[in-house]
Structure 1
Amino acid sequence: MENLIRFKQSNLAKITNFRNGEVKFGEKMITIPNDANVIDFISNSEAKYVVLGIPEDIGIRANLGRSGANTAWESAIESIANIQHNRFCKGSTILVLGQVDVSQEMEKALLLDQNNTDDRKALFKIVEQIDKEVSHIIFSVVKAGKIPIIIGGGHNNAYGNIKGTALAKGKAINAINFDAHSDFRILEGRHSGNGFSYAFEEGFLKNYFIYGLHESYTSKSVLDTLKKIEDRVRYNTYDEIKIRYQKNFNQEMFQALEFIKNEFYGIEIDLDAIPNIASSAMTLSGFSVEELRQFVNYFSQNQNAAYLHICEGAPSLGEEKNNHLIGKLIGYLITDFIKGNSLV
């Protein structure tokens, strides 16, 4: 894990707001000592969950989206550190691993114009490099018997999450994606819009369910592709559930779980599915925060839930006075996941 910037106890101390009579996650979460072997320490740790940040937006730029998702990690870890440690959820169940070192990749990407064909191809290549780092780290964490909680970054990192988990488990895994988009676009080069199609094509992804697809923002070619492989890739639409009331939110969660629960599966959350959340593809119409929290809690309550990935939030694109709110939302989702998964 040479391209990992470890999170230190001193880092936690700086972002934790200590207060008399209270105990915060930042006082209880575990970090890896400088002199410790990363893999050995993770394997022997009592923490069940390992938190990893991926502060990049290169995959989003390669997909012609708005940059800014690289800022979610810093906002999220600060919010997580200040959650109350109590009988409902304990900070000691979390090991904060740190962040993937993507500084050089980000510097290279800043020199490239995503609207230039050759530059965009160069961005694809950079995303491939990040794929290798992410899949290696996720493989190591899962192989150590832990559950990764990944904070992105772009949705391109779904590929590394799926590949790393599949390699650690020794077989293809399933995935559930709470998203306005399929991210199952053509294999034109790696970006945030085709992490799942690449993982599917390369044999790391078995069954895939897209929850809440927005009908007006899904191309005919993608819908035609999904139709051909509906035995392994299924979806429902936001419009069916919340606009036309043809389907029920809770019943659809049950159907989706039935489709993926017989294998290890990843839970993928794209924050651009929630209205007014600053992201690369911000929306005004979508599921509520409460419905998203219910979704995360529901799918965490299964022994085959293998990881949680929260991506595409971009605090730097939000209101300056309230750019901490995305980090706070990510904190809610992580505790919802842990509370549900602790019942397994």
Structure 2
Amino acid sequence: MEKLIPFSITDLAKVTNHRSGEVKFGEKMITVPKGENCHNFLKVCEAKYALFGIPEDVGIRANYGRPGAHSAWESAIKSIANIQHNRFCKGSQIVVLGKLDVAQEMEQAKDLDFNATADRKLLSELVHRIDKEVVHLINSIIKCGKIPIIIGGGHNNAYGNIKGTALGLGKPINAINFDAHSDFRILEGRHSGNGFSYAYEEGFLKKYFIFGLHENYTSKNVLDNLKKIEDRVTFNTYDEIKVRQQKNFQQELNTALEFIKNDSYGIEIDLDALPNIASSAMTMSGFSVEELRQFVYFFGSHKNASYLHICEGAPELGEEKNNHLIGKLIGYLVTDFIKSRRELI
């Protein structure tokens, strides 16, 4: 965990707005004591969930996207720290690890042009470097018996989440992805659009369900490839659920769960599936925040749910006066996930 920048008790105090008569998550969440070995502390601490951020958008840049997702972690931790600690959800269930040190990769990526072949190759190499660190950290968390909650960053980090969890458990895992896109593009060098296809090709991803695919933004090539492997990778579309109403949202939750529930699975959330949420690929049409919260609660409540990853939110691309709202949304999703698992702990 040498690439982890620890989040200290002092850091937590700085982002917590203390108020008389109230107890905030920031006053109860656990941090790794200064000087202690992170891995050893994780093994013995009582918190069940290990929270950390990946403040990068290198993978998004490599996928022709708009940068900005690096800003989600800072926004999220400020909001999470100020959630009320009460009988509905307790901050003491979370150990805040900090953030991955990706400053060097971000610096090297900032002047690269994805339209230039050589630069695109360099961007993919930087994503590959980040992959290694994500895999290592997730693997360590899983082996310590904790459940990772990851705040991205780009969706390229799904690869590291899946591989790290699979290595930690010693077996391939499944994944459910709430997303407007498949992120199952061709293996053309790593970026935010092919995390799942790389994990599948390398044997770390066993079964994969894409929930709410947007028909207008899924290529014929991807659809043809998915058709060939539909026993292991399948999907529904947003259009057939919400526009044509050929399928029912609640029934589709059950269908997806049936597909993945027999093995450990990761829950992947791409915030660009929600309308008007600042992200690299913003949409005007998509599921509601309430439907996403129901989705997280539904899939989090099963014993085989192994991690939660929330990515692609980009507060710095949002309205200047309201750029805290993405962090607040992430806070809701984190607590929905934890609340869903009360009976499993």
Tell me if both proteins adopt one fold, taking TM over 0.5 as the criterion: yes
Corresponding pairs, count: 344
CA deviation after TM superposition for structure 1 residue 123, in Å: 0.1
Matched residue, 1:304: 304
TM-score of the pair, normalised by structure 1? 1.00
Matched residue, 2:211: 211
Matches within 5 A, 1:119-130: 119-130=119-130
Deviations 1:202-227 (A, max 9, x none): 00000000000000000000000000
Q: Distance in 2 between matches of 1:44 and 1:261?
A: 29
Secondary structure class of the residue paired with 2:50? strand
Q: Which deviates further from its counterpart, 148-157 or 31-40?
A: 31-40
Deviations 1:167-213 (A, max 9, x none): 00000000000000000000000000000000000000000000000
Q: Distance in 1 between matches of 2:45 and 2:303?
A: 20
Matched residue, 2:39: 39
CA deviation after TM superposition for structure 1 residue 103, in Å: 0.4
Q: Distance in 2 between matches of 1:82 and 1:134?
A: 27
Task: Kindly indicate whether residue 172 of structure 2 is the aligned counterpart of residue 172 of structure 1.
Answer: yes
Letter paired with 1:266: G
Q: Distance in 2 between matches of 1:94 and 1:223?
A: 39
Deviations 1:102-130 (A, max 9, x none): 00000100121111111010000000000
Matched residue, 1:226: 226
Q: Distance in 2 between matches of 1:44 and 1:331?
A: 26
Matched residue, 2:63: 63
Q: Distance in 2 between matches of 1:239 and 1:112?
A: 36
CA deviation after TM superposition for structure 1 residue 327, in Å: 0.1
Matched residue, 2:75: 75
Matches within 5 A, 1:325-344: 325-344=325-344
CA deviation after TM superposition for structure 1 residue 342, in Å: 1.6
CA deviation after TM superposition for structure 1 residue 240, in Å: 0.4
Task: Kindly indicate whether residue 183 of structure 2 is the aligned counterpart of residue 183 of structure 1.
Answer: yes
Query: Structure 2: which 5+ residue stretches go unaligned?
Result: none
Task: Kindly indicate whether residue 16 of structure 2 is the aligned counterpart of residue 16 of structure 1.
Answer: yes
Secondary structure class of the residue paired with 2:290? helix
Secondary structure class of the residue paired with 1:206? strand
Q: Distance in 2 between matches of 1:316 and 1:207?
A: 34
Matched residue, 1:113: 113
Matches within 5 A, 1:232-251: 232-251=232-251
Task: Kindly indicate whether residue 156 of structure 2 is the aligned counterpart of residue 156 of structure 1.
Answer: yes
> Which aligned runs of 4 or more in structure 1 are off by greater than 3 angstroms?
none
Matched residue, 2:86: 86
Matched residue, 2:133: 133
Task: Kindly report the root-mean-square deviation, in angstroms, between the aligned alpha carbons of the 2 structures.
Answer: 0.4
Secondary structure class of the residue paired with 1:192? coil
Secondary structure class of the residue paired with 2:197? helix
Letter paired with 1:287: F
Task: Kindly indicate whether residue 244 of structure 2 is the aligned counterpart of residue 254 of structure 1.
Answer: no
Letter paired with 2:184: F
CA deviation after TM superposition for structure 1 residue 34, in Å: 1.5
Q: Distance in 2 between matches of 1:339 and 1:110?
A: 39
Deviations 1:142-169 (A, max 9, x none): 0100000000000000000000000000
Q: Distance in 2 between matches of 1:111 and 1:183?
A: 25
Letter paired with 1:174: N
Q: Which deviates further from its counterpart, 108-117 or 135-144?
A: 108-117
Letter paired with 1:77: I
Query: Structure 1: which 5+ residue stretches go unaligned?
Result: none
Q: Distance in 1 between matches of 2:114 and 2:273?
A: 24
Q: Distance in 1 between matches of 2:171 and 2:50?
A: 21
Matched residue, 1:147: 147
Q: Distance in 2 between matches of 1:195 and 1:180?
A: 15
Q: Distance in 2 between matches of 1:316 and 1:111?
A: 18
Matches within 5 A, 1:88-107: 88-107=88-107
Secondary structure class of the residue paired with 2:30? coil
How many percent of aligned residue pairs carry the same amino acid?
Answer: 75
Q: Distance in 2 between matches of 1:89 and 1:271?
A: 23
CA deviation after TM superposition for structure 1 residue 343, in Å: 2.2
Q: Distance in 2 between matches of 1:116 and 1:104?
A: 21
Q: Distance in 2 between matches of 1:290 and 1:115?
A: 38
